[in-house]
Amino acid sequence: MSYKDVAKYFENAGLKDRVKVFEESSATVEMAAEAVGCMPKQIAKTLAFLIDDMPILIVAAGNVMIDNQKYREVFGQKSSMIPRDLVKKYIGHGLGGVCPFAVNDSVKTYLDKSLKQNEVVYVAAGSPNSVVKLSISELEQHSHFKDWIDVCSI
């Protein structure tokens, strides 16, 4: 999986014009916000975890962090991020481009309620220098998410 897979997905969805590629990196929340020209809270970061050896993605607003107590309440175990060198294997996208689109079949995606502070968000698009601009309802549709959760705090 890669930027090409994500771009093709959005082309097929009729949203090709929403995908942007930058000369500079947009691999971190701060870099992406600067490249896009938005506030960090509008960057939808995608975090990769393992639950009983199964990969999950949590998409959250860029201005929040995982709250371990909330995470444990939702998933029944301590948070365990996928090791950096295994992210591409488990998810299908490498670091800096992890997103909930065109991922491996076994990946389950969750959306954190922190995203609801925005009308529009910018999500990585499969590479460290690309994003896709989506409304929250479009993110719901195209991420094929399992559920809304509350696992983050400011």
Separation in Å, CA 87 to CA 10, 84, 101: 22, 6, 14
Domain count, the chain: 1
Q: Identify whether the C-beta of residue 64 lies closer than 8 Å to the C-beta of residue 83.
A: no
How many CA atoms does the CB half-sphere of 121 hold within 13 Å? 30
Report the alpha-carbon distance of residue 59 to residue 141 in Å, rounded: 13
Q: Tell me which residue of 29, 36, 10 sits closest to 100, measured CA to CA.
A: 10
Longest alpha-carbon distance in the chain: 41
Does residue 151 register a pLDDT over 80? yes
Which domain, by its residues, includes 139? 3-153
Report the alpha-carbon distance of residue 21 to residue 129 in Å, rounded: 6
Q: How confident is the model at residue 154 (pLDDT cuts 50, 70, 90)?
A: confident
Report the alpha-carbon distance of residue 54 to residue 9 in Å, rounded: 24
Q: What is the CATH number of the domain that holds 121?
A: 3.90.960.10
The pTM of this model reads 0.96
pLDDT in tens, 17-48: 999 999 999 999 999 999 999 999 999 999 99
Does residue 1 register a pLDDT over 90? no
Does residue 2 register a pLDDT over 90? no
Residue 153 pLDDT: 95
The rounded mean pLDDT for the chain is 96
SS3 for 45-76 is EEEEEEECCEEEEEEEECCCEECHHHHHHHHC
Does residue 68 register a pLDDT over 80? yes
